Amino acid sequence: MTRSFKEGDSYTDRLFHWLKSRKQINITMSTEIKPKVYKVLIDHHPVLLKGYRRPNVLKQQISFFEEWKNAESIAARPLPFPTGEMSISKLGCEWGLFTWKDGRHADFGNEMDRKKTYNCLKQFHRNTKGINTLSIPRDPLYLKWYRRLEQFSDTKHVFHSYYKKELYEEVFTMMDRLLDVFASYPWGQIEENSWNSEQWLHGDVAHHNFIIDSVGSVSMIDFDLLHRGPKLYDEIQLAHRFLPYLENDRINFFQLFKHVSYPEIWLRGSLVPADLIREWLYGYNKSRRGEEALLTHIEKFEKAWERRKQFVRYVEFMLR
């Protein structure tokens, strides 16, 4: 949810006052998207103002988009400040401006939105392959998932306290087994091939990072996790995002992803319920802050698990 700022928001007031007095940048209206992310009007034009604690994340995007010449049609790209600078340091952050994309977030429950976002992602992969700029190194996906499984194991006591020990054991055992299979593929070679071919991936293909405008065109935003690597990772993550809507519509699910890279590995990765573990951990942390009842979250997780378990069993039977 966004909110407009009023006099007295000290951090924002200090930032905008400094931009006006020191940089002659007059922000006439601002709305907070989330902390340190604002929709602002500069010279009557809406843009996104975003602050980064890690300057290299912003600098990589600036360098990347300098090389991606036709980015504007499908991506929110960095913009120069009216002073000509691409970034400005203030209040412990490196600040950047980005194109503001009007529209709504993609609805992954809608078939047309799913097709449009997947096609947009494929276009991004095609258009950015070969961009030769520095990339922030990131661990292979399976290592990230092993860490997530370890975090899940730290919540074992919660399941026990709510008499859901069997649920925990079933989820952990299946996740561990499927992840071991996924991790057994030659990731060193796959990673090296993608690095040498200068393949880029977005890194966070959630519905809120696809904007659909009034005529139905799709754009991607928020390239903070941009890095060089196998596009397979984006394809698996998008499959996980679509699965809650397609677990019982398997024909359409497989039809949509029929042209993925490394089909067998993609399928094995799609089976790993890392997305459900992520949602569990997210909700668990919200409950610890008092934002959601823990019992409600456990019940939602159990229902999601039952649906996913049936999908996994179906696909594993198909793979025999």
pLDDT exceeds cutoff 70 at 49: yes
* Strand ranges, E, within the chain: 3-4, 27-34, 37-42, 45-52, 78-79, 88-90, 93-99, 104-105, 200-201, 210-212, 218-220, 227-228
The count of residues in the chain is 320
pTM score: 0.93
For 231, phi then psi, to 5°, come to -60, -15
Of 10 and 277, which is predicted with more confidence?
277
Of 63 and 69, which is predicted with more confidence?
63
Domains of the chain with CATH codes: 3-100 (3.30.200.20), 111-319 (3.90.1200.10)
Q: What is the mean pLDDT of the chain?
A: 95
pLDDT exceeds cutoff 50 at 3: no
Of the listed ranges 42-46, 144-148, 170-174, 217-221, the least confidently predicted one is 42-46
Token readout for 257 is 């992803």
Confidence of residue 9 (pLDDT cuts 50, 70, 90): low
Q: Report pLDDT digits (tens) over 119-149.
A: 999 999 999 999 999 999 999 999 999 999 9
Q: Report pLDDT digits (tens) over 180-220.
A: 999 999 999 999 999 999 999 999 999 999 999 999 999 99
Q: What span, in angstroms and rounded, lies between the C-alpha atoms of 119 and 220?
A: 11
pLDDT exceeds cutoff 60 at 54: yes
What's the chain's Rg over C-alpha atoms?
A: 21
Q: Report pLDDT digits (tens) over 269-305.
A: 999 999 999 999 999 999 999 888 999 999 999 999 9
Closest among 54, 16, 56 to 32, alpha carbons compared: 16
Q: Please tell me what DSSP assigns to residue 208.
A: G
3-state secondary structure of 206: coil
pLDDT exceeds cutoff 80 at 1: no
Q: What span, in angstroms and rounded, lies between the C-alpha atoms of 106 and 112?
A: 10
